[in-house]
Amino acid sequence: MGIRTRQIEDGQITAPKIAAGANIETSKLADGTEFFKRDGSVLATGTHDMNNNKIQNVGTPTNTGDATNKTYVDSLIAGLSSAYKYRNVRAATTGNVNISNPGTAVFDTVTMAVDELLLVWQNTTQSQNGIYLFKGSAVPLVRAPNSDAWNEFPGSLVSVNEGAVHGDSRFFSPVNDGGTLGTTAITYTKDPTSGLTAANMVDRETPSGSINGSNTAFTLANTPVSGSEHVYLNGILQLPGGIDYTISGTSITMATAPLSGEWLRVSYRK
């Protein structure tokens, strides 16, 4: 003879009286020491080992103790990368490059592989400057994902790993906010202290050329890195840009011919 529902008092069915595997609606159960309702509020009292399983579909955290999800973490990382604007590339250009068809895989003596990063910083059309993915010698360069929007350029710092001229160097972009990528000029300034070693520094070289009161042409043993030369006449630093001298490659032309008995020295980075 079965037991009718009205014959069972409320709260009298206890765990030992329920068969293992009984099909009981969870809505009928209360939060307790061994059961958590999905909308309950009982606090855990120990560590839960997920045995290498995942907790899925976690919401966006709002409080300090909230769990987080991968999408939220990825967005934070992307934001940090953009905020600090620090980039690292394999090589940098040494002159103008055809963006749509580079015509070579070699830049500053470095042979680039597909999808390696290249700093283009000396293009005649300065709006083309920036960091690119190398796709092949006859394939257009593609702007790198973290350098394909204008707000990623102002104040950015680029470190160059390899190259005969620019290896182990750093470049800073002084452009301002509010520009338009592809239209506004992008410029870079090379850090003059980067890449310094004893091997690439020349200190107080005496350039070849007669000092006789009429000769103004002098020649260095190496081509200085642009802007790195310090020219001294009788120990006094000379001004570039045609004021006291001009320089092109290894050739220095003085604005006024040094007199007999005077001395000329040049320090530079090669």
Average pLDDT (154-168) is: 89
Which of 122-126, 160-164, 180-184, 253-257 has the lowest average pLDDT? 160-164
The proportion of the chain whose per-residue pLDDT surpasses 70, expressed as a percent, equals 81
Which pairing describes strands 169-172 and 157-160: parallel, antiparallel, or unpaired? antiparallel
Mean residue pLDDT across the chain: 85
| pLDDT at residue 9 is higher than 80 | no
pLDDT at residue number 207: 96
| pLDDT at residue 221 is higher than 80 | yes
pLDDT at residue number 87: 86
CB 204 within 8 A of CB 265: yes
Global pTM value: 0.49
| pLDDT at residue 145 is higher than 70 | yes
Per residue, what are the HEC states of 149-201?
CHHHCCCCEEEECCCCCCCCEEEECCCCCCCCCCCCCCCCEECCCCCCCHHHE
Which pairing describes strands 117-120 and 91-92: parallel, antiparallel, or unpaired? parallel
Average pLDDT (181-209) is: 84
**101-122: pLDDT as tens digits:** 999 999 999 999 999 999 999 9
The proportion of the chain whose per-residue pLDDT surpasses 90, expressed as a percent, equals 50
92: left (phi over 0), alpha (psi -120 to 50) or beta: beta
